[in-house]
Amino acid sequence: MVQPFNTNDANGGGRPMAGPPLPTAPPMDAPAGNDSQYVDFLVLGNKENYLVRAERKPILDSNTGLAQMLSGGGGGGGGGGDSKCVVRDVNRDNFECFVRYLETKFIKFASPSHTLEMLELATRFQCRQLEIHCVKELDLNLDVSHVLEVYRALWFYNSVAPPKVPPKEPKRRSRCPRAHKSSSQGSGGPLTPEEYFAALLTNCLQLIDMHAEQVFTQEAMLALRFPELEMIVRRDALQLSSETVLLDLLARWSLEDCKRKHIDPTAENRRRALGALCYTPRYLTMARREFDAARERIELLDPAESQLVGDALGGLSRAANANLTPEQQKLVARFRAPRPDCPLLPVPLSARSHPRNYPKRMRKAAAEAERELRDGPKKSCCNRFLLNCCSVFACIFD
């Protein structure tokens, strides 16, 4: 029997409704089932704590340290509710920027310092994709004004050695120049974050080579540790108008190092602070008056070595040169070696470091260096003629 919709007394219905109908939709403010798609990161600060809410699925799919924190139940667990993950020793704005990158795969860098801070977060939470993105951004905006800041930061990330060219397997040489061009263009670039760090370090050193005089006058050079300074001043391709620029840097750094160690800045202590770096300037490429003026400011060489350099600058005879010990001959050859006219090209990591943005002479020098590395040193016409003659006589008398 069908009950009528109208339930008044005339129709013999029952009791009227006591109140308004109950809602069937869940409330908008705090549904218990929807919290599972979000996660709250509690950022602990020095004075205040902050809450950063993020979508759970992109964080779990990111395969980063935050994903391991969630999946492992370290503060957030895998369940829903109002569970939170606790994060310490991070900047709130940078951490929120990092979380938004994991959600949207987009990030906007404010400055090179901000990029370095985001690189630190990416390394801490093992976000390899963001590490590579930060390296490319740093290379794109690499400039003389902050190259030392980037250079010093790279010492805290994995390898600090420039990438070495792997030995290539010997293969049959093609006479087609197009084949050589395609093989050189198809050489593998950096793939892992560690390789990107090493490539960026190479580009920092290459930029320092190009603008050595501007970089050496910066106060940040005096704050470098000895290994950091050593990697720079031992470079062969430093573009210097005179070796006195390098001598002035070593004099200022040794004085600052004595102040840091609270020792008397005597000539002996300053030489001890520099160690083998005293032999990095090419003394025999200087004029005699430049060398004498440098000696008045700082004695980087001991008296015997200074006398040796002075005699060589004054025109050392062959007889006197023959009486030198092998160590002294090697020292004189090192002091006399000229620096190359231009540094090598950087590793192409961005539009800034692309070879087309550099002078033709640098591209030509890089091509010649690559050819010598591949085929060995170039032989002269006389050597090739003698080799051909020998081969002909060998065939005749065979």
| Number of other residues whose CB lies within 10 A of the CB of residue 76 | 22
Of the pLDDT bands very low, low, confident and very high (cuts 50, 70, 90), residue 216 is very high
Question: CB of 204 within 8 A of CB of 157?
Answer: no
**Per-chain mean pLDDT for the chain:** 81
Q: Is pLDDT larger for residue 57 or for residue 8? A: 57
The domain in which residue 305 lies consists of 210-375
Could you tell me the two tokens for 392?
Answer: 């002909």
Q: For 83-112, what is each residue's pLDDT tens digit?
A: 678 999 999 999 999 999 999 999 999 999
Distance from the first to the final alpha carbon of the chain: 123
10 inside domain? no
CA–CA gap between residue 273 and residue 226 (Å, rounded): 9
268 inside domain? yes
Could you tell me the two tokens for 188?
Answer: 């593998």
Please determine, for residue 43, whether its predicted confidence score (pLDDT) is greater than 80. Answer: yes
Please determine, for residue 342, whether its predicted confidence score (pLDDT) is greater than 70. Answer: yes
Could you tell me the two tokens for 222?
Answer: 């005096």
- Closest Cα partner for 173 from 376, 367, 366, 344? 376
Q: Is pLDDT larger for residue 64 or for residue 7? A: 64
State whether 222 and 353 are in the same domain.
Answer: yes
Q: What is the per-residue pLDDT for 220?
A: 96
Helix or strand (DSSP H, E) at 331: helix 326-336
227 inside domain? yes
Q: What is the per-residue pLDDT for 328?
A: 86
Q: What is the per-residue pLDDT for 345?
A: 94
Query: Which residue, chain included where needed, has tokens 């993020």?
Result: 54
Sheet with 38-44, side-by-side order of all strands = 49-55, 38-44, 84-88
156 inside domain? no
State whether 216 and 315 are in the same domain.
Answer: yes
State whether 128 and 251 are in the same domain.
Answer: no
State whether 356 and 241 are in the same domain.
Answer: yes
Q: What is the per-residue pLDDT for 374?
A: 72
Q: What angle do CA 98, 103, 108 make, to 5 degrees?
A: 50
- Closest Cα partner for 126 from 57, 172, 192? 192
CATH number of the domain where residue 51 is located: 3.30.710.10
State whether 127 and 216 are in the same domain.
Answer: no
Question: CB of 239 within 8 A of CB of 361?
Answer: no
Mean of pLDDT values over 20-37: 57
State whether 125 and 255 are in the same domain.
Answer: no
Question: CB of 355 within 8 A of CB of 345?
Answer: yes
State whether 250 and 337 are in the same domain.
Answer: yes
Please determine, for residue 186, whether its predicted confidence score (pLDDT) is greater than 70. Answer: no
Q: For 302-326, what is each residue's pLDDT tens digit?
A: 888 898 898 888 776 554 566 788 8
280 inside domain? yes
Q: What is the per-residue pLDDT for 312?
A: 87
Of the pLDDT bands very low, low, confident and very high (cuts 50, 70, 90), residue 214 is very high
Query: Which residue, chain included where needed, has tokens 């002294």?
Result: 328
- Range scoring the smallest mean pLDDT among 15-29, 92-106, 272-286: 15-29
- Range scoring the smallest mean pLDDT among 59-73, 150-164, 251-265, 269-283: 150-164
Query: Which residue, of 141, 160, 186, is where some domain finishes?
Result: 141
Q: What is the per-residue pLDDT for 15?
A: 54
364 inside domain? yes
Half-sphere exposure of 24 (CA within 13 A, CB side): 1
CA–CA gap between residue 139 and residue 352 (Å, rounded): 7
State whether 221 and 113 are in the same domain.
Answer: no
Q: For 136-185, what is each residue's pLDDT tens digit?
A: 999 999 999 999 999 999 987 755 555 554 444 444 444 554 544 444 44
- DSSP, res 72: T
State whether 124 and 247 are in the same domain.
Answer: no
Q: 296-301: long-range contacts at Cβ-Cβ below 8 A with a sequence spacing of 24 or more?
A: 297/247, 297/248, 297/251, 298/247, 298/250, 298/251, 298/254, 298/267, 298/270, 299/267, 299/271, 300/247, 300/250, 300/251, 300/271, 300/274
State whether 234 and 312 are in the same domain.
Answer: yes
365 inside domain? yes
Q: Is 210 left (phi over 0), alpha (psi -120 to 50) or beta?
A: alpha
CA–CA gap between residue 199 and residue 185 (Å, rounded): 17
Query: Which residue, of 141, 159, 179, is where some domain finishes?
Result: 141
Q: What is the per-residue pLDDT for 35?
A: 54
Q: How many domains, in total, are found in the chain?
A: 2
The rounded percent of the chain whose pLDDT value lies above 90 is: 55
State whether 214 and 355 are in the same domain.
Answer: yes
Q: What is the per-residue pLDDT for 31?
A: 47
CA–CA gap between residue 119 and residue 117 (Å, rounded): 5
190 inside domain? no
- DSSP, res 265: -
Q: Is pLDDT larger for residue 20 or for residue 141? A: 141
The rounded percent of the chain whose pLDDT value lies above 70 is: 73
State whether 225 and 134 are in the same domain.
Answer: no
Of the pLDDT bands very low, low, confident and very high (cuts 50, 70, 90), residue 365 is confident
Query: Which residue, of 141, 168, 190, is where some domain finishes?
Result: 141
Of the pLDDT bands very low, low, confident and very high (cuts 50, 70, 90), residue 53 is very high
Query: Which residue, chain included where needed, has tokens 């800041």?
Result: 149
